[in-house]
Structures are given as C-alpha cells and as structure tokens.
Amino acid sequence: MYETIKNVHSILAYAALGLLLLASLNAIFGLRSKKIFKDKDLRLSLFTLIICHIQLLIGLILYFLSPIGAGQLGNMKDAAIRLTSLEHPLINIIALALITIGWSKHKKEESNNGKFKKIAVFYTFGLILILSRLPWTNWFN
Ligand code: HEM
Ligand code: HEM
C-alpha cells in the first residue's frame, strides 16, 4: 500500500509540476500579449487544478503511511526528515491553497487580462513554493 501510494505520488509530481509550469507560462504570455481568455486557457488551468488536487489528496494519505512522514514529527534535528515530515507537506498545502484561490479568483474576473493575471500570479507563486521544498534526492534515487 505504502509503496503504491508513494509511486503514484512521485509519478503525479511530474504531471503536476509540468502542468503548473505550462499553465503559468500560458497565463503570463496571455497577459503580456493581451490575448482573449479562451476555452483552451480555461481547460489548461482547470486540468492543472484537478491534477494538483489529486496530488494533494495522495500526498495527505502518503503523509500518514510514510515512515518519513507524520510519525517523525518529533525528529526535527535531521534536515532530510524535517523536509518530508514538516516542510514539504506544510509548504505544499499552502501552495495548493494559493493555486485554488487563484482559480477561484479568476472565475470572478470579468476581463480577459484579469483572468490571465490571477492565474499568472497565483499559479506561478504556488509553483515556486512547491519547488522550494521538494525532496529532490528522494525523488531521483
Ligand atoms: C484534500 C483534498 C481536496 C481539497 C481540500 C480540495 C479543495 C477544493 C476547493 C476549496 C475548491 C474550490 C475552488 C473554487 O472556489 O472554485 C476545489 C475545487 C475543485 N476541486 Fe478540489 N479539493 C480536493 C481534492 C480534489 C480531487 C481529488 C479532485 C479531482 C478528482 C478535485 C477536483 C476539483 C475540481 C474539479 C474543482 C472545481 C473547479 C471548478 O471551479 O469548476 N479536488 N477543491
Ligand atoms: C503539487 C504538490 C506536490 C508535489 C509536486 C510533490 C512531490 C513529491 C515528490 C517528488 C516526492 C518524492 C517522492 C519519492 O521519494 O519518490 C514527495 C514525497 C513526499 N510527499 Fe509530496 N508532493 C506534493 C504535495 C504533497 C502534500 C500536500 C503532502 C502532504 C500533505 C505530501 C507529502 C509527501 C510525503 C510524506 C513524502 C515522503 C514520502 C516517502 O518517501 O515516504 N506531498 N512529494
């Protein structure tokens, strides 16, 4: 069970990060060139949100199954353990809240520029937060 969830989480990570990068760049480009916010822009932002939400749910389950997750919260001296048991989960929950707020705010915007702007700001900031606290060494080993 633990191995399966962990594998799903590490494979979905490629999709979540790739989509976040794509959706952020698409929104920044749309904003800068004053494009119309079309159906394809909505679909890209929504698909990114859904994959990120699935990753959040899987991450939360993994947090309670992993030997380097919630069970290690008392062990703050070890930097690698602190990363997976506290920093990565906490920062990613904040990042995902920001991404969801961005999605929610874009829906309330009337103008094309306003919609691109909300996605550009919130998705990009979310992506930067996620990248700042990834367990890179665990991922590639
Ligand atoms: C811990 C788990 C999750 C939490 C806390 C969560 C939270 C939220 C919140 C707060 C919103 C509202 C955003 C808005 O105001 O528009 C939302 C929207 C949404 N979430 Fe999640 N979600 C979770 C898991 C999932 C999963 C597993 C899926 C997909 C399988 C998913 C798919 C969606 C979709 C499609 C939307 C709505 C987009 C729209 O506005 O049409 N979420 N979620
Ligand atoms: C988009 C958001 C996220 C991304 C891109 C992401 C990515 C990753 C990656 C690449 C790893 C290393 C996987 C490996 O060792 O093969 C990992 C590990 C982990 N993640 Fe996430 N994660 C996200 C969100 C979350 C959230 C929200 C939680 C918990 C609330 C979480 C909990 C964990 C835990 C506990 C581990 C360590 C698992 C272990 O090696 O036993 N992640 N994550």
CA of 124 to the centre of ligand 2 (A): 19
| pLDDT tens sequence across 93-128 | 999 999 999 999 999 999 999 999 999 999 999 999
Q: Whose CA is nearest to atom 37 of ligand 2?
A: 84
The preferred substitution site among 60, 92, 94 for testing ligand 2, maximizing ligand atoms within 8 Å of CB, is: 92
Q: Is 56 in the pocket of ligand 2 (CB under 6 A)?
A: yes
Question: Contacts from 46-53 at CB under 8 Å and sequence distance 24+?
Answer: 46/103, 47/19, 48/16, 48/19, 48/20, 48/22, 48/23, 48/99, 48/123, 49/99, 49/100, 49/103, 51/12, 51/15, 51/16, 51/19, 52/16, 52/19, 52/20, 52/96, 52/99, 52/126, 53/96, 53/100
State pLDDT tens for residues 26-84: 999 999 999 999 999 999 999 999 999 999 999 999 999 999 999 999 888 899 999 99
